């Protein structure tokens, strides 16, 4: 849970910067009662709503979620996001200063946008992808070699917040952000966390343990230096 008294205080500030609960609900296309629940700590905003709250409130996403850093980004969030949606043939996906483990280490997570990567709009459309659901993060480690090499960039669809079938996901497990292959364990109904590198042993989760996994998104594409 990201909620605390401090978070609700920050959210109240963001709502006031946007204008009102009604205006916040309109911009995010949600009910006013939903915004009130967020403000009162009764429910969690989805990831896309947190991003839009930061955008329309013109505050740092890291500050909104964790209270870290300055409230006001050096460049307006709305201006930054607008940069990634220009051009006639390409959409620009923001790269965040987040390193995910494709090994066994832990990494500090920051939420600043540090760059952008262009993808063909035609390719995204053929994949059924919406640019507003996509982020770029960096994978560190060798556990997913040869599929994902150390220091590769990952295109992650954040709309995929639940296990939807075999694939590579970015997840939080035991406090670590990792990129791993998830597979249903047909014997137990739980999940298998698999590495493509055979040097790493699979992790078996029961159904109950699998419920504690937080899925950030599904990996759609990987690229990096040869």
Query: Where do the structural domains in the chain lie, given as residue ranges?
Result: 7-83, 87-223
* Paired residues of 168 in beta bridges: 181
Task: List Cα–Cα distances, 2 to 67, 108, 155, in angstroms.
Answer: 11, 16, 24
**Does residue 166 register a pLDDT over 70?**
yes
Q: What is the pTM of this model?
A: 0.60
List phi, psi (to 5°) of 56: -75, -25
Quote the CA–CA distance of 132 and 191 in Å, as a whole number.
29
**Does residue 5 register a pLDDT over 50?**
no
Q: What is the CA radius of gyration of the chain?
A: 18
Quote the CA–CA distance of 132 and 117 in Å, as a whole number.
13
Quote the CA–CA distance of 89 and 216 in Å, as a whole number.
28
At 224, is the pLDDT very low, low, confident or very high (cuts 50, 70, 90)? low
**Of 93-107, 137-151, 153-167, 208-222, where does the model show the most confidence?**
137-151
> What is the pLDDT of the chain when averaged over all its residues?
82
At residue 111, the pLDDT reads 53
CATH number of 7-83: 1.10.260.40
What is the second-level CATH architecture of the domain 87-223? Ribbon (2.10)
């Amino acid at each position: 849970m990201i909620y605390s008294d401090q978070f609700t205080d920050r959210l109240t500030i963001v709502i006031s910067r946007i204008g009102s609960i009604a205006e916040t609900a309109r911009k995010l296309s949600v009910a006013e009662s939903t915004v009130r629940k967020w403000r009162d700590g009764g429910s969690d905003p989805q990831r896309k709503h947190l991003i839009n709250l930061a955008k329309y409130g013109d505050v740092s996403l890291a500050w909104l979620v964790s209270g870290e850093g300055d409230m006001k980004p050096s460049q307006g969030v709305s201006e930054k996001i607008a940069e990634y949606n220009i051009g006639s043939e390409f959409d620009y996906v923001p790269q965040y200063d987040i390193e995910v483990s494709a090994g066994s280490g832990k990494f500090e997570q920051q939420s600043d946008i540090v760059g952008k990567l262009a993808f063909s709009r035609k390719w995204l459309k053929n994949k059924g992808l919406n640019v507003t659901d996509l982020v770029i993060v960096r994978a560190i480690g060798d556990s997913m070699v040869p599929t994902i090499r150390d220091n590769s960039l990952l295109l992650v669809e954040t709309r995929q917040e639940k296990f939807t079938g075999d694939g590579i996901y970015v997840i939080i497990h035991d406090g670590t952000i990792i990129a791993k292959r998830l597979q249903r364990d047909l014997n137990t109904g739980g999940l298998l966390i698999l590495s493509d590198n055979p040097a790493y042993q699979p992790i078996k989760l029961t159904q109950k343990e699998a419920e504690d996994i937080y899925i950030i998104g599904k990996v759609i594409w990987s690229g990096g230096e040869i």
